[in-house]
Amino acid sequence: MDITALALVLVPVAGMAIAAVAAVLIVAVSLKGTSARERAGILRAVAHLVRAIRGRK
């Protein structure tokens, strides 16, 4: 496998992995010290964001 082909595969995968880790960290920080009602709202907003990124309504 050529290095260019390998880079074409690994760069998008690495980008998505970084985005996923960032999303998990943002949610973890947001959920710290919140009530159950606030937690539900945060998780609902994150689910809405993930659906929008993936292209589902």
Residues of the chain below pLDDT 50: none
Domains of the chain by residue range: 22-57
pLDDT at 56: 62
Q: Where are the alpha helices (DSSP H) in 1-57?
A: 3-31, 36-54
pLDDT at 12: 86
pLDDT at 9: 86
pLDDT at 51: 84
Residue 53 in tokens = 């990124």
Q: What is the pTM of this model?
A: 0.61
